A and B are shown apart, each in its own frame.
Chain A
Amino acid sequence: MEFPEDLKFTEEHEWVLVEHGMATVGITDFAQDALGDVVFVELPEVGTVLETGKSFGVVESVKAVSDVYAPVSGEVIEINEELPDTPELVNTSPYEDGWMLKIKLADNAELDDLMDADAYQAFVEEEG
Chain B
Amino acid sequence: MLKKTPLNAVHKQARARMVDFGGWEMPVQYRGVIEEHLAVRNAAGLFDVSHMGEIKVSGPGALAFIQELATNDASTLENGQVQYSALCYPHGGVVDDVTLYRFDAEHYLFCVNASNTDKDFTWMEEVLADGDFPGVALHNVSDDFAQLALQGPAAEAILARITDTALTAIGYYRFYEGLVAGVPTIISRTGYTGEDGFELYFAADAAEEVWNALMEAGADDGLMPVGLGARDTLRLEMKYALYGHELSTEITPLEAGLGWITKLDKPSFVGREALLKLKEAGVPRRLVGFAMTEPGIPRADYPVFADGRQVGVVTSGTMSPSLRHGIGLALVETACAAIGTPLQIGIRARQVGAKVEKTPFVKK
Q: Is B348 among interface residues, defined by CB-CB distance under 8 A? A: yes
List the B residue with the shortest CB-CB distance to A33.
Answer: B17
Q: What residues of A have a CB within 8 angstroms of the CB of B299 in the complex?
A: 65
Binds A, one of B25-33, B87-95, B109-117: B25-33
Q: Is A51 among interface residues, defined by CB-CB distance under 8 A? A: no
Interface 1/0 per residue, A6-32 and B, CB below 8 Å: 000000000000000000000000000
Q: What residues of B have a CB within 8 angstroms of the CB of A36 in the complex?
A: 17, 29, 32-33, 229
CB contact list, A98-122 vs B, under 8 A:
none
Which interface residue of A40, A61, A63, A65 has the most chain B CB atoms within 10 A?
Answer: A63
Contact across chains for A62 and B233 when beta carbons are under 8 A apart: yes
List the B residue with the shortest CB-CB distance to A62.
Answer: B33
Q: Which residue from B295, B296, B318 sits with its C-beta under 8 Å from A62?
A: B318
Q: Is B297 among interface residues, defined by CB-CB distance under 8 A? A: yes
Which interface residue of B229, B232, B295, B319 has the most chain A CB atoms within 10 A?
Answer: B319
CB contact list, A63-103 vs B, under 8 A:
63, 65, 84
Q: Is B321 among interface residues, defined by CB-CB distance under 8 A? A: yes
Contact across chains for B321 and A62 when beta carbons are under 8 A apart: yes
Q: How large is the interface on A (under 10, 10 to 19, 20 to 34, 35 or more residues)?
A: 10 to 19
Q: Which residue from A39, A58, A84 sits with its C-beta under 8 Å from B348?
A: A58
List the B residue with the shortest CB-CB distance to A91.
Answer: B32
List the B residue with the shortest CB-CB distance to A65.
Answer: B299
CB contact list, B304-324 vs A, under 8 A:
318-319, 321
Which interface residue of B17, B297, B321 has the most chain A CB atoms within 10 A?
Answer: B297
Contact across chains for A37 and B296 when beta carbons are under 8 A apart: no
Contact across chains for A62 and B28 when beta carbons are under 8 A apart: no
Q: Which residue from A37, A42, A58 sits with its C-beta under 8 Å from B32?
A: A37
Q: What residues of A have a CB within 8 angstroms of the CB of B28 in the complex?
A: 63
Nearest CB on B from A24, distance (A): 24
Contact across chains for A60 and B34 when beta carbons are under 8 A apart: no
Nearest CB on B from A85, distance (A): 9
Q: Given A36-B29, A37-B34, check contact A60 B297 (CB 8 Å).
A: yes
Contact across chains for A39 and B297 when beta carbons are under 8 A apart: yes
Nearest CB on A from B305, distance (A): 19
Q: Which residue from B32, B34, B296 sits with its C-beta under 8 Å from A40?
A: B296
- Please report the C-alpha to C-alpha distance between residue A60 and residue B325 in the assembled complex, in whole angstroms: 13
Contact across chains for B29 and A60 when beta carbons are under 8 A apart: no
Q: What residues of A have a CB within 8 angstroms of the CB of B17 in the complex?
A: 36
Q: What residues of B have a CB within 8 angstroms of the CB of A58 in the complex?
A: 348
Contact across chains for B319 and A39 when beta carbons are under 8 A apart: yes
Q: What residues of A have a CB within 8 angstroms of the CB of B348 in the complex?
A: 42, 58
- Please report the C-alpha to C-alpha distance between residue A49 and residue B216 in the assembled complex, in whole angstroms: 56
- Please report the C-alpha to C-alpha distance between residue A62 and residue B321 in the assembled complex, in whole angstroms: 8
- Please report the C-alpha to C-alpha distance between residue A62 and residue B29 in the assembled complex, in whole angstroms: 11
The 17 listed contacts between A and B (C-beta, < 8 Å) are A36-B17, A36-B32, A36-B229, A37-B34, A39-B319, A40-B295, A40-B296, A40-B297, A60-B297, A61-B33, A62-B33, A62-B34, A62-B319, A62-B321, A63-B318, A65-B297, A84-B295
- Which residues does A use to contact B, with CB under 8 Å? 36-37, 39-40, 42, 58, 60-63, 65, 84
- Which residues does B use to contact A, with CB under 8 Å? 17, 28-29, 32-34, 229, 232-233, 295-297, 299, 318-319, 321, 348
Q: Which 5 A-B pairs have the closest CB atoms?
A: A39-B319, A62-B33, A37-B34, A40-B297, A60-B297
